[in-house]
Amino acid sequence: MPVLQQQRHSETAHRQRVSSAKFQPLAMPALDYTGEVAEATAEAYEKVRHVIPAIEWPAYAPYIKAINDLKRQRNAVILAHNYMTPEIFHGVADIVGDSLQLAKEAATSQADVIVQCGVHFMAETSKILNPDKTILMPDMAAGCSLAQSITGADVRALRQKHPGVPIVTYVNTSADVKAECDICCTSSNAVEVVESLGAPRVLLVPDKYLAANVALRTTVEILTWEGACVVHQRFTGAEMREYRNSVPGVKIIAHPECPTDVTAEADYTGSTAGMINWLKENSPKKALLVTECSMADNVASQAPGVDFVRPCNLCPYMKMITLPKILESLVHMRAEVTVDPAIAARARTAVERMISLKS
């Protein structure tokens, strides 16, 4: 064998040995609360001390140290949605953000392994954008009521019923559904995506409330589907008015997955990242985040001085992701998210079309 070819052959063999060693199951690390663990997690504790009492930290800290050590061993990154619990958000996440930010990060990640701390459609989006990477989901049952509300066959039927009408699908959908649409959107760019198509009429599926909120901000006619988010559909306009009356000066910040009688009462409506930016820029004394509960817990350390008024609703799916499950995931390299390559290729076109828009 010529020298150069021999060299390449041995480099490839070396890479394969390293890579398969990287993916071997490892021993479960010790989970004692030692001085070393306390020191390694002290910075994270400062960011969560407003929600986790000091007496409870020894139950979290060993997991945080073990997960951070394992990430280095596996060349893994953790992408965490803004709805993750504070110990995940501040303790082990490398990248945090809303759905659009996480999709953009997934597209440029240099890691071999992505652990998706969020729900299944987010892990699928990461896999669609990174077919050669290992995408792990700490709990495969972490779904989403919106993603469950529509199938690829439903989108094909819609296309037949509305020939020539472009279809925008919210990122909160399965790969199958993304594969059938023209372009994806998230809550932070839905208006821009709809208007980018230059059509008088657009189907925006599956969230009927996101669609209704977009319809209020554009002249494009919006057709939709009967999907809703179990977290945001429960808020009501009457509830918002009661808060406004009982908490003088409160600023109401709502997610566009809320019904329009809720967003009509809001001082600001936007994605979870939009909410965080609005809080940082406006520093209100009192704020009501009309969204998932962990948002206020996570943002509190970034927006000191804001008094967060409840209510909030828990997302049962997001809350399936826990530190012990993330650790198991990195120790055993499971559960790996896969997407049929033919479906992934079509879905990628829709996701990349969205990512390539300016904002």
The whole-angstrom separation of Cα 245 and Cα 291 is 20
Q: Is 292 in the site for ligand SF4 (CB under 6 A)?
A: yes
209 annotated binding-site participant: no
Q: Is 146 in the site for ligand SF4 (CB under 6 A)?
A: yes
99 annotated binding-site participant: yes
Where do we find the tokens 């600001």? 268
Length of the chain: 359
Query: What are the E-state strand segments in the chain?
Result: 76-81, 95-97, 113-117, 134-136, 167-170, 183-185, 201-205, 221-223, 251-254, 268-269, 286-290, 307-309
186 annotated binding-site participant: no
25 annotated binding-site participant: no
Please identify which residue in 37, 44, 90, 99 interacts with ligand 13P, judged by CB under 6 A: 99
Which among ligand SF4, ligand 13P, none contacts residue 145 (Cβ within 5 to 8 A by kind)? ligand SF4
CB 210 within 8 A of CB 190: yes
Please identify which residue in 186, 196, 269, 329 interacts with ligand 13P, judged by CB under 6 A: 186
3-state SS, one letter per residue, for 287-339: EEEECECHHHHHHCCCCCCCEEECCCECCCCHHHCCHHHHHHHHHHCCCECCC
Number of neighbouring beta carbons within 10 Å of residue 236: 14
Q: Is 317 in the site for ligand SF4 (CB under 6 A)?
A: yes
The whole-angstrom separation of Cα 341 and Cα 72 is 29
* Size, binding site for ligand SF4 by CB under 6 A: 13
Which among ligand SF4, ligand 13P, none contacts residue 298 (Cβ within 5 to 8 A by kind)? none
CB-nearer residue toward ligand 13P: 124 or 257: 257
Please identify which residue in 134, 172, 174, 263 interacts with ligand SF4, judged by CB under 6 A: 172
The whole-angstrom separation of Cα 273 and Cα 125 is 18
Binding mask 181-220 for ligand SF4 (x = CB under 6 A): ----------------------------------------
174 annotated binding-site participant: no
Binding mask 217-236 for ligand SF4 (x = CB under 6 A): ------------xxx-----
315 annotated binding-site participant: yes
Number of neighbouring beta carbons within 10 Å of residue 136: 25
Residues that bind ligand 13P in the complex, under the rule CB under 6 A: 82, 98-99, 144, 172, 186-187, 229, 257, 271-272
